[in-house]
Amino acid sequence: MNIRLSLLFTIILYTFFGYAQTGITVGPPRLFFVSNAGENQIQTVDVTNPSKDYTLDLSVSLEDWRYTLYGDNEMAPIGTFTNSGASWISISEPFFSLKPGETKRLNVNLAVPQTVSYTDSVPVHTSMLFVTQLNPRQGVDKEGANIKIAVRSGIKIYHRFNGKDKADLEITNLKHMHVDSVGDFLELAFDVTGNIWMEGKVRAEFINQETGQKIVLDNMAFYCLPGDKRKQYIQVPKELTKGNYLVSVMLFYGEEDMVKAAELEFDYDPAE
């Protein structure tokens, strides 16, 4: 007798910065709070069940959140990171259900404790709000195994104090590197010296010193928090030919489109 063994397991799909592709829609992708000690602010989050035939049971939870050296998201239990603001937050309905096509608006209340004030060492506070599906849906993967699919969607929450809104950074290093398994790339290092969360774009211009050929890489996004030390990697374009190059790397950031730049000269040989 042939017996087919089916594997049953649960897949949790994580989505950040807004909208999930499977099973749930949550937005906006970020909430920004600006207030002082002892003040409360309320903002809203909309959660929608896009399914036509499946009711979702959902929960809302909070975790600490920050960026790593390489710009990745790092989460931890509440109170782990020094910039944690998760304990200041309450949700109007931490558990709820959504019928197919239904939308629920949640109130997110952030109350700054009376004892907390601005410091240069911890100028902002952050957390991650998660909406998690509690009743995974049955499915089958491409190999025919039985699976259950659940969705967890995250929204980033930022808090800063009134009047503290300086965006700034300092480039500390720029170097050319080669790794056999990856190829050639630039390592850009910079420190965030401002006191506000920051987003911007990186632009790199490669100029062949012998031929004058110019290749531009543009609109590479970065996101930072105050005090972050960041390493940003830029792949050397495949179109570059052998030669000596001058590369100019520019960072554009802040509401006033501030610019910081660095230059580097290096030899490049695609055959190496």
Full set of structural domains in the chain with CATH: 9-160 (2.60.40.10), 169-268 (2.60.40.3480)
Which residues share a beta bridge with 158? Answer: 32, 126
Which residues share a beta bridge with 171? Answer: 190
Work out whether the CA dihedral 193, 195, 199, 200 comes out positive or negative. negative
Which one, of 25, 23, 42, lies nearest residue 33 by Cα?
42
Say what the pLDDT of residue 2 is: 35
E strand map for 122-257: 124-133, 137-140, 146-160, 169-179, 183-192, 198-208, 214-224, 229-235, 243-253
Say what the pLDDT of residue 140 is: 56
Which residues share a beta bridge with 272? Answer: none
Which residues share a beta bridge with 16? Answer: 154
State both tokens at 245.
């190059």
Say what the pLDDT of residue 139 is: 63
Say what the pLDDT of residue 16 is: 44
Whole-structure pTM value? 0.85
Which one, of 51, 62, 54, 42, lies nearest residue 20 by Cα?
51
- Neighbouring residues of 37: CB distance < 8 A, sequence distance ≥ 6: 112, 113, 114, 115, 116, 117
What distance in Å separates the CA atoms of residue 209 and residue 196, rounded to the nearest whole number? 39
pLDDT mean by block of 10 residues, the chain; 272 residues: 34 43 83 97 97 94 98 97 98 97 98 96 97 83 69 96 95 94 94 96 97 95 97 95 97 92 96 78
Which one, of 201, 150, 119, 125, lies nearest residue 22 by Cα?
150
Instruction: Tell the residue number behind the tokens 């190829």, with chain if given.
Output: 183
Say what the pLDDT of residue 149 is: 78
**DSSP state at residue 123:** -
Say if strands 30-34 and 146-160 run parallel, antiparallel, or are unpaired.
parallel
